[in-house]
Amino acid sequence: MSAVLMPLKLKKDPWYKEPWLLLVAGGPAIVVCASIYTGIVAMRGSDKVVAEDYYKQGLMVNKDIQRDARAKELQLAASVALDLTAGRMKIHLTGTEALPDTVQLSLANAVAGASSVNEVIHRLQMRQVTPGNYEGDLKLLSNLASSSVKLFHVKIETSNWRLTGDWFEPEQRAVQLNAAK
């Protein structure tokens, strides 16, 4: 009878084999591991959100707006063509006032690297050969003729005005740039 009244001793598992331990500590452990993994991914593939010269770029916004307005005032229009056989870049520029002797042509495109995407800017000084017609030597641009780039952001500019636009398939066709309406 004494055996009936005595409570039975329950067999206790070691603490690390308890199922409640997995439920209580497992969730936070998974969250910690996932956050460490997310941190590593973020550090390896992080992009710079703010440019190093952000202040100068901010100051240039007003100047760029004024140059765009001046191009509209002069009713500027341009046609840019790539002549690979002659190794020349050609621009035909029209406007209401006298055109400068030289203009700067900038071609920007994105290039994917191993861990980031960088913007590559090709600049070429274009000289006027006949009134309204400008030419520049492609040899002065680094590997532009041999690249297979399908899209460029184009800028034709002087200190007073600028024309901008996007140029799809530069080897196939010319691009028309007009001052913003």
Tell whether 34 is covered by a domain: no
Dist. CA 165–CA 146, nearest whole Å: 22
Q: pLDDT-based confidence at 148, cuts 50/70/90?
A: low
Asked whether residue 113 carries a pLDDT value surpassing 70, the answer given is no
Q: Are strands 102-112 and 88-94 parallel, antiparallel or unpaired?
A: unpaired
pLDDT at position 132 is 92
How many domains does the chain divide into? 1
What one-letter code names the amino acid at 130? T
Is the residue at 137 inside a domain? yes
Q: Which two tokens stand for residue 59?
A: 């100051």
Is position 61 within any domain? no
Q: Is residue 116 part of a domain?
A: yes
Q: pLDDT for 68-107, tens place per residue? A: 999 999 999 999 998 878 888 899 999 998 899 999 998 8
Q: Would 25 be classed as within a structural domain?
A: no
Classify residue 153: in a domain, yes or no: yes
pLDDT of residue 115: 67
**Is residue 59, in this structure, part of any structural domain at all?**
no
| Domain housing 108 | 76-178
Q: Is residue 110 part of a domain?
A: yes
pTM, full prediction = 0.62
Please count the CA atoms within 13 angstroms of the CA of 25 that sit on its side-chain side.
8
Q: Domain containing 91 — which CATH number? A: 2.60.40
The two three-digit tokens of residue 50, written as one number: 């703010």
